[in-house]
Chain A
Amino acid sequence: MATYLEFIQQNEERDGVRFSWNVWPSSRLEATRMVVPLACLLTPLKERLDLPPVQYEPVLCSRPTCKAVLNPLCQVDYRAKLWACNFCFQRNQFPPAYAGISEVNQPAELMPQFSTIEYIVQHGPQTPLIFLYVVDTCLEEEDLQALKESLQMSLSLLPPDALVGLITFGRMVQVHELSCEGISKSYVFRGTKDLTAKQIQDMLGLSRPAVPMQQGRPLQTPEQPVISSRFLQPVHKIDMNLTDLLGELQRDPWPVTQGKRPLRSTGVALSIAVGLLEGTFPNTGARIMLFTGGPPTQGPGMVVGDELKTPIRSWHDIEKDNARFMKKATKHYETLANLSAANGHCIDIYACALDQTGLLEMKCCANFTGGHMVMGDSFNTSLFKQTFQRVFSKGYNGEFRMAFGANLDVKTSRELKIAGAIGPCISLNAKGPCVSENEFGIGGTSQWKICSLDPSTTLAIYFEVVNQHNAPIPQGGRGAVQFVTQYQHSSTQRRIRVTTIARNWADAQTQLQHIEAAFDQEAAAVLMARLGVYRAESEEGPDVLRWLDRQLIRLCQKFGQYNKDDPNSFRLSESFSLYPQFIFHLRRSPFLQVFNNSPDESSYYRHHFARQDLTQSLIMIQPILYAYSFHGPPEPVLLDSSSILPDRILLMDTFFQIVIYLGETIAQWQKAGYQDMPEYENFKHLLQAPLDDAQEILQTRFPMPRYVHTEHGGSQARFLLSKVNPSQTHNNLYAWGQESGAPILTDDVSLQVFMDHLKKLAVSSA
């Protein structure tokens, strides 16, 4: 057959969807026996350069409990101008505007190539986007200066009619009134006292808008513009004054004595930001951008005290229940995150410090709202500066990539139900016939809200097959899913992206080979990984590893070919052959192995893992390794210690780091200076090639990865050595025999040992 690989790739390109299974088992019982759930990765706003949006409203099914959008799977009677909804079978009349349609004159939304289509539905005045800067002033002078310059620079990158606001904080929290008149004023709040949104709004002299509004619609009450203008002004009006205001920002004036941390009131600052936006512009696209250089040390949301001798909590502290402030702080930020998400506003966290800043406690702010999380050592680094610039990046069509206020609604044909979603979203608690009682991730709903997203944001959505065993499937029957994403485009237009897909049902008892052949092992690995990481956030680490192992063994038992109790006979077909390797690397990954990282680092890695598309997610699970040598053109090589050779340069991409590693001989040649001799120019080229390739990644990826340039014996070589499969260790050194590869000092099992164990367990009849 034209392989499923092509089918899978074409569907991803067109619809932004990857399913774990592309031929679906037709009964609930059989589906659970598949081990890997029926699920998909969805990139709602996948960049489609060839898909011009249509300028009319989508046609909806008239059944109130359905309201599916007209799509290529619907049966159409062109003569009678009727269409049958493929989800609920309701017959619907076409609206009058469709009077002229026929078989040869189809509207775009009926054509198969428009299984994904985008509608522009709002015209006329729109509410502008809002950017509220929340800035920590407890920074070192150099750091603060660099941050100020980045903020000033960003004013040139904002959409000109966007609104901007500024809150600064340290021991106190200052809300700056932005005006074009000479004197700048601010409202000062104590950083120790938490306030409700209403109190904040009262103290700032705002009043709540009377009418709840739909995201992006213009405000109704005439006095709104006057009230909000004091703290949130259009960039094109306020840019010069705000540039000066930013330029004049000083370090927090409260002295920090020896052995103490600065008093940082992040919790109150964020409360005020959320309350301010709620009171002025609910339900419109807004970014609260928190810039912080250290942990919150006072007030609600404090993560550590101000005594330096008390270190900030580590994973060991948390395990031993020795993290005093964690629960309360997490609760504070979760409340804020939920409030902000309910208002359609996202919270970004830009945390630059050598020590932890409390990302563990604050992560919900970014994770619930779709906001960014950027972690760096200092604001005075290219990692922060360039990453921050990319927040405002534009796509190929010159439009901002960022989008706001997305509402994702999923509909399924009746044999399927929705079990949940994992990604940067919150539940909208939309109950209905499509919603399953079993929850995977954020469940109990068929709708989620993503307050901020871009063309790479990807959700994992889990389904449940509910057809009873032995219920007849109609011949050639297909199941269908429709994803409807309403959102606010960066131009402030409202748009709707509709993706409708279908897959064949198959009887697992008689057609297992078809189901097998259509398995997408890459998608399955990422979908299982997201589930594992989601569980790891709430369960104990070892339980998740045991669960992953159990699922893997069951999968091998079901789909492997083998003779009982004969591990050597074990085979996996091509569509499954890479899956165990993904699981092996996932088990070793920083997403599930936390003790090598701080809690903040783990939160950072997990944050990005829960929203990236499939390709990037796979890089995170199983980093890519390229080898450069004189033996041939650059090539990808196994992520294995045997790939580390003296006469090679390796480039490793883990998504979070780009590591260039010079083999021993290469390093010695470089030390000897051969690259500077004209007759050895090709050596110079060899050294340069991985640097050029690294630059391509460094210049485009968000967030910008850490760049590590190291060599054999270098202390930073550990970045590479800890990732590769340790096929050669001090334990099996002499058994190996050959002089190839660099042995790794570890007691971790290698992939070979892992596979041996797996085969033994899979074939065992016990």
Chain B
Amino acid sequence: SPGPPSAPADPAAPPPRALGPPPQGSVGAAPRAEARPSAAPCPEQEECSVSADTVLAPLRAALDSCRATVQKQVCNDIGRRLTVLEDAWAQGKLSAPVRKRMSLLVQELQQQHWDAADEIHRSLMVDHVNEVSQWMVGVKRLIAETRDLPTGE
């Protein structure tokens, strides 16, 4: 019966005896939401078996190809951050989604899909900043410098 809103119910108390169960079957309310595409292109729940080297080796190779034209200090800075990444990976500090997306990023980089690699770096910064902030800016820079290399690389 109508009355002023009562005090919050004791969570341990069972519902009143008069309460029956909800209706069964698909009556009425179908969920409105359309299927939402997941952010990452691959399921991140499954165990990620990407090895550190499949990611680090191409990155270091890209860095090497930059050393001829890019300022020494910048290269060293990038190199330093790649080492931070390597250490974090080895110590198991990176979550599966981060490792998975890094392997995708490296693939895009190797195929010279600069914008795609950039997008992945951005999505990692946005979604996992606390895991990646120390070294990701080095990867970002590496993409930018590799992209600008004289053609033929």
Contact = CB atoms under 8 A, between A and B. Distances in A.
Interface string A134-171: 00000000000000011011011100100000000000
Nearest to A626: B32
Contact of B137 (A155, A160, A632): A155
Given A240-B138, A682-B24, A634 B133 contact: no
A350 interface: no
Given A239-B140, A692-B32, A682 B27 contact: yes
Interface of A: 149-150, 152-153, 155-157, 160, 180, 236, 239-240, 243, 247, 389, 628-634, 665, 667-669, 671-672, 674, 679-680, 682-683, 685-686, 688-689, 692-693, 695-696, 712-715, 717, 721, 728, 730, 733, 736, 739-743, 745
A686 B5 CA distance: 24
Interface residues of B, number: 46
B25 interface: yes
A674 B3 CA distance: 27
B1 interface: yes
Contacts of B16: 668
B121 A156 contact: yes
Nearest to B136: A156
Contacts of B77: 240
Query: Is the contact region of chain A dominated by helix, strand, or loop, or is it mixed?
Result: helix
7 contacts: A152-B129, A671-B11, A686-B29, A692-B31, A693-B33, A712-B5, A742-B2
Contacts of A631: 28
A682 B26 CA distance: 6
Contacts of A389: 126
A682 B29 contact: yes
A236 B144 CA distance: 8
Contact of B22 (A240, A630, A692): A630
A679 B22 CA distance: 10
B73 interface: yes
Contacts of B81: 240
Interface string B26-40: 111111110000000
B68 interface: no
A692 B30 CA distance: 12
B150 interface: no
B125 A683 contact: no
B5 A742 contact: yes
Contacts of B129: 149-150, 152-153
A680 B25 CA distance: 7
Nearest to B6: A713
A714 B8 contact: yes
B73 A745 contact: no
Contact of A743 (B4, B22, B73, B130): B4
Which of A152, A631, A680 has most chain B Cβ within 10 Å? A152
B19 A665 contact: yes
Contacts of B19: 665, 668-669, 672
B5 A713 contact: yes
B152 interface: no
A695 B32 CA distance: 12
Contacts of A741: 2
B30 to A, nearest CB: 7
A669 B22 contact: yes
A160 B21 contact: no
Contacts of B83: none
B26 A156 contact: no
Nearest to B24: A679
A631 to B, nearest CB: 6
Contacts of A667: 9
Contacts of B140: 156, 239
Nearest to A634: B32
B141 interface: yes
Nearest to A699: B36
Given A634-B32, A689-B29, A692-B31, A152 B137 contact: yes
A743 B140 CA distance: 58
Contacts of A633: 28-30, 32
Contacts of B6: 713
B22 A713 contact: no
B22 A634 contact: no
A673 to B, nearest CB: 11
B61 interface: no
A629 B29 contact: yes
B4 A721 contact: no
A631 B4 CA distance: 26
Contacts of B7: 713
Nearest to B121: A156
B92 interface: no
A156 B25 contact: no
Nearest to B115: A398
B60 interface: no
A739 B1 contact: yes
B41 interface: no
Contacts of B27: 630, 682
A631 B27 CA distance: 8
B2 A733 contact: yes
B33 to A, nearest CB: 3
Nearest 9 A/B pairs, CB to CB: A692-B33, A668-B15, A156-B125, A683-B22, A243-B137, A153-B129, A149-B129, A689-B31, A713-B8
A160 B144 contact: yes
Interface in B36-58: none
Given A239-B140, A728-B2, A745-B4, A632 B28 contact: yes
